[in-house]
Amino acid sequence: MIGFRHGAATSTGRVRRVNEDSYLTAPPIYAVADGMGGHGSGDLASALAVQVLARCAHLHPLFLEAVLAALEEANQVIIERESANRMGTTVTGLVGLGTAGADHLMVFNVGDSRVYRLAADGIEQLTVDHSEVQELLLDGVITREQARIHPRRNIVTRALGTDPVLLADRWLLPAVGGDRFLLCSDGLFSELPDEAIRPLLSVGTPQQAAEALVMAANDVGGRDNITVVIVDIESDDDGADGTTMPREALGAQVLGGAHDGDS
């Protein structure tokens, strides 16, 4: 049986006037959403996304299909509210699932917010950004460091509220006691490279690490909203349940159409 410990921190940053990020910490579901569309729109879109996803926390056990249905519902809710204001939101998350008699985790993503896992030799990005710069990176046109500062880094190719047909990436992972996960909006990794994130992520409680990461991103610029959720997995058997689910992510990226926004 797995359990969760979590911490969260968010900041408007040093440049933006409104925080358009929202986050959810309702075990067994965690999420970060980064709204697009400006004040009165982006913040509403991200809030609607986490409100719909929060309903999944009351389902026991929680199955993959319920999470996917909630993402579809959130997409439609935002589209219906979009008639007055052009808006959308990224959303990324981590969910504890009851599947086939064993504990597993589901990572999901739409847009360019991210989920990382702390590893012995660094941090591993589990999600794939849906953004123009990610496509340039995959094509070998730019490096990962150049992607962090590219002038079109805020242009996402997929988001909730932008297309009636939602394409959400998802991955299944074994639930391993001792693992630590980082969920964040792009305001964190656009300011801090992986080598700066890792030491801050690995020290202290989830709350202490979340606050340290947000503070560090603000200290070096804080040019965007910054939101961090950190989740520790606790297990009685530390994952020694004999599961055959591979540790690597199971899922494939499907690219959608471009959408220009302040994610």
Residues 53/74, Cβ–Cβ less than 8 Å: yes
Asked whether residue 221 is domain-assigned, the answer is yes
Our measurement of the distance from residue 52's CA atom to the centroid of its chain's CA atoms, rounded to an integer in Å, reads 16
The structural domain count of the chain equals 1
Asked whether residue 263 is domain-assigned, the answer is no
- Determine the average pLDDT of the residues in 104-125: 93
- Determine the average pLDDT of the residues in 105-124: 93
Asked whether residue 84 is domain-assigned, the answer is yes
Range of the domain at 170: 2-238
Residues 143/121, Cβ–Cβ less than 8 Å: no
- Minimum mean pLDDT range among 47-51, 112-116, 154-158, 256-260: 256-260
Asked whether residue 133 is domain-assigned, the answer is yes
Our measurement of the distance from residue 130's CA atom to the centroid of its chain's CA atoms, rounded to an integer in Å, reads 12
- Measured N-to-C along each axis, helices 42-54 and 64-81 cross at an angle, to the nearest 10 degrees, of 150
Asked whether residue 92 is domain-assigned, the answer is yes
| pLDDT tens digits, 63-80 | 999 999 999 999 999 998
Asked whether residue 152 is domain-assigned, the answer is yes
Q: Which residue has the higher pLDDT, 181 or 147?
A: 181
Output the six-digit token pair for 48: 């609607």
DSSP 24-71: EEETTEEEEEEEESSTTTHHHHHHHHHHHHHGGGG-SS--HHHHHHHH
CATH number for the domain harbouring residue 104: 3.60.40.10
The pLDDT score that the predictor gives to residue 135 is 61
Asked whether residue 245 is domain-assigned, the answer is no
